[in-house]
């Protein structure tokens, strides 16, 4: 399955409607697409994404906004968990280490790996790098898994 079809399938899963229509409770869920996060891979507990950097991703001191860095790590980590099964996930705990300011980069590369996946909780480590491979952020996140 190509990435476009996988992204469409995920959007349907995220909105809770397999017809692709967002019901009232799921409006606005697809934050990933609004931000511009592109999934490159999600399988076997590993996910890899990219984010083409836009001017709106910068803060007032002209570095990438910490919320953008957190969001790409969170989103990619959730994809890693979903690649192992489950209908939806929700972040219940997160630790983030900002290691270097994000600037002068055209894209972010995000990688996430599931460390432990149980019946209801999963722990994921992620890293966010700039387009030169410099490590900007590391995270450890815990997700609740919703299964049908």
Pairing of strands 88-98, 135-146: antiparallel
pTM over 0.85: no
User: Dihedrals φ, ψ of 24, to 5°?
Assistant: -60, -40
pLDDT of amino acid 37: 93
CATH number at residue 8: 3.10.129.10
Q: Which tokens hold the place of 85?
A: 């099964």
Closest CA to 10 of 119, 91, 88: 88
pLDDT of amino acid 148: 83
Q: Write the burial class of residue 68 (CB in 10 Å: 0-12 exposed, 13-18 middle, 19+ buried).
A: buried
Domain membership of residue 26 as a residue range: 3-146
**What is the count of structural domains for the chain?**
1
pLDDT tens for the 148 residues of the chain, in order: 455 555 555 555 444 444 444 443 344 347 788 889 999 999 999 999 999 999 999 999 999 999 999 999 999 999 999 999 888 999 999 999 999 999 999 999 999 999 999 999 999 999 999 999 999 999 999 999 998 8
Q: Cβ contacts of residue 20 below 8 Å, gap of 6+?
A: 8, 11, 12
**To 10 degrees, the CA torsion angle through 125, 73, 89, 1?**
-100
Collapsed DSSP state (helix, strand, coil) of residue 63:
coil
pLDDT of amino acid 143: 97
């Amino acid at each position: 399955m190509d990435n476009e079809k996988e992204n469409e399938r995920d959007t349907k899963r995220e909105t809770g409607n397999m017809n692709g229509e967002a019901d009232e409770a799921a409006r606005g869920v697809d934050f990933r697409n609004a931000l511009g996060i592109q999934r490159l891979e999600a399988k076997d507990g590993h996910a890899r994404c990219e984010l083409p950097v836009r001017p709106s991703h910068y803060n007032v001191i002209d570095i990438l906004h910490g919320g953008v860095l957190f969001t790409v790590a969170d989103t990619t980590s959730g994809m890693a968990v979903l690649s192992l099964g489950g209908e939806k996930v929700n972040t219940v705990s997160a630790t983030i280490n900002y290691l270097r300011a994000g600037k002068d980069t055209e894209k972010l590369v995000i990688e996430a790996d599931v460390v432990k996946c149980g019946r209801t909780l999963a722990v994921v480590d992620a890293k966010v790098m700039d387009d030169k491979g410099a490590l900007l952020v590391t995270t450890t996140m815990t997700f609740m898994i919703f299964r049908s």
